[in-house]
Chains A and B, each alone.
Chain A
Amino acid sequence: MSDLTYETLVALLVEKFEVLPELIRPGVTFADLEVDSLFLVELLLVVEREVQAAIPDDAINAQDTLERAVDIVREHVATAGTR
C-alpha cells in the first residue's frame, strides 16, 4: 500500500482523464470539473491501483474537493493498513 498525494491525484486527472490543468485550483470540487456520474467510479478504480487498497464506491462524491478526496483515500489506506 502507498499513500495518495494531491500531486498524484492531479497527475491522474490530467493524464488519464484529460481534465484541463487550468481548471484545477485549490478548493475545486469534482462537480466544478463537470465530470459525470461514471467518472468517480473510474477514478476510484485508478486510485485503488495507485494506492493498492480497496476504496468503497461511495467514499467520494461529486461535492468533495480534490483535497478532501486525498484525505478520504488516505483514511482508507490507513484503516486497511491497521486491519
Chain B
Amino acid sequence: MTRSAHLAGIGSFLPSCRVPNAQLAARMDTSDEWIRTRTGIRQRYFAEPGTTTSDLAAEAGARAMKSAGLAEVGAVVLATTTPDRPCPATAPVVAAKLGLAGCPAFDVQAVCTGFVYALATACGLLAMGCVDTVLVIGAETFSTILNPADRATSVIFGDGAGAMVLRSGHTAGNGAVGPFDLGSDGTGRDLITVRAGGAEQRRSGLAPAPGDEYFSMAGREVFRQAVEHMAQSARAVLGHVGWQAGDVDWLACHQANLRILVRLADVLGIPEARVLANIAEVGNTSAASIPLAIDQAYQAGRFKAGDRLLLSAFGGGLTWGSTVLTWPDLTHP
C-alpha cells in the first residue's frame, strides 16, 4: 500500500459525575469489594442529565484536533453503541458541533470493538484518497442503557469519549497505524445485546418484555470468548506486521474487565507491566475505552516516540479486532 495512515493527534473526555462503587452499593445489592475483586473497577463516570453521546464525542474530538494542530478534518467516523437517536447517525451532529460544515460523517456500530472497526474504516478512507485527515471517535453514554435492576452490568459500564486524528502518509515509521485483523460471529448476538427497540422486536407485534429495553450480557461466556478471540486476533495482526509478543511495548486493549486484561496478557506472553489499564478509574466505556486508555497514558507521559502499541478489542455482535500503532512524536500537546 503506497498510502498509509498516521496518528496525528489524540484527546479524550470524561463527564463530570464521578460514581464510586460505594454509591452503587448504596442503591443495589453489591459492595465495593465485590465489584473490585470481580472487575478491578473502583469508580466510573456518568454523564449528567442533558448530556448525550454527541456532547462527549465533540469534546474529545475537539481535544484530538487541537492535539493535531488542526482546525478542520476531512471526515468524522464515530464508534458508538449509544447514539443520540436510533436515526440518524450521531457523527453528523458531532461534526456540526465541531463546526465542520459539509464534512462526511457517519457512525460505526461494533459495540466494544467499535473503535478498532472505526480506525480500520478511517484507514480505508485515507488509503483510497477520499480525504487527507479523519477524526475517529469512540464515545458512549452507556449509563442510558444500563438496567438499574441488573447489578452484574450496572457496576461495570461507564460513560466517556476518546478520539484520534489520522492523517494520510506515504511511509511507515512513527505514527503508522495498521495492518488490521477484524472478525465477527453473529450466532453469538444474544450474549451481548439490547433485545428491544429494533426491527426484530417491533415487527414481532409484541410489547418488549420487562428489561428488554436495557443492555444485557452473559458475563461468564463473554469472559471466555473475549480472551480467546482477542488473543487469536492479536496474534494474527502481530503475524501480519512481523512483530513478536516481545516487541510490543504496550498492550492497549478494550477495558472490559481487569481480569480479562491480565488473562489476555498471560496468554499472549506480554508482561503485566506493559498492559495499559485505566478500568479502575473509568470502568468499561465500550467503544471509548481504547482511545481513552491510550490518551490517559499519553497525558501521563508513559509513551515515547517509536513505542509499539498492540490494540485489541472484543464486543457485541460478536465482534473482535486488532491493530498496531507506532507512537508518533506529537508536537501539539
Q: How far is the CA of A37 from the CA of B219 in the complex (A)?
A: 10
Looking at the assembled complex, report how far the CB atom of B248 sits from the nearest CB atom of chain A, in whole angstroms. 19
Chain A residues whose CB sits within 8 angstroms of the CB of B37 once the complex forms: 36
Q: Judge whether B38 is part of the interface by a CB distance below 8 angstroms.
A: yes
User: Does B332 belong to the interface (CB within 8 Å)?
Assistant: no
Whether B220 is near chain A, meaning CB under 8 Å from some CB there, is yes
Q: Which of A16, A42, A44, A57 counts the most chain B CB atoms within 10 A?
A: A42
**Binding site secondary structure of chain B:** helix
A45 proximity list for chain B (CB < 8 A): 224, 227-228, 263, 267
Q: Does A38 contact B (CB under 8 A)?
A: yes
Of residues 8 through 57 on chain A, the ones whose CB sits less than 8 Å from some CB of chain B are 16, 36-38, 41-42, 44-46, 49, 57
Complex CA–CA separation, A38 to B256 (angstroms): 14
The distance in angstroms between the C-alpha atoms of A45 and B226, with both chains bound, is: 11
Contact (Cβ within 8 A) B221 A42: no
Q: Which residues of B contact A46 (CB under 8 A)?
A: 263, 266
Identity of the chain A residue whose Cβ is nearest the Cβ of B220 in the assembled complex: A41
Q: Is the interface of A mostly helix, strand, loop or mixed?
A: helix
The smallest beta-carbon distance between A35 and chain B, in angstroms, is 10
Is B298 in the interface zone, CB < 8 Å from A?
no
B259 at the interface (CB under 8 A from A): yes
User: Chain B's nearest CB lies how many Å from the CB of A83?
Assistant: 20
**Is residue B303 contacting chain A, with contact meaning CB distance below 8 A?**
no
B106 within 8 A of partner (CB) = no
How far is it, in angstroms, between the C-alpha of A54 and the C-alpha of B37 when the chains are bound? Answer: 27
User: Which residues, 42 to 78 on A, are CB-close (under 8 Å) to B?
Assistant: 42, 44-46, 49, 57
> Are the C-beta atoms of A38 and B267 separated by less than 8 Å?
no
Q: Is the CB of B220 within 8 A of A38?
A: yes
Asked if A38 and B221 make an inter-chain contact with CB atoms under 8 angstroms apart, the answer reads no
Interface of B toward A, CB cutoff 8 Å? 37-38, 219-221, 223-224, 227-228, 259, 263, 266-267
Q: List 6 A-B contacts (CB under 8 A).
A: A37-B220, A38-B223, A38-B259, A41-B223, A42-B263, A57-B224
A interface, CB within 8 angstroms of B: 16, 36-38, 41-42, 44-46, 49, 57
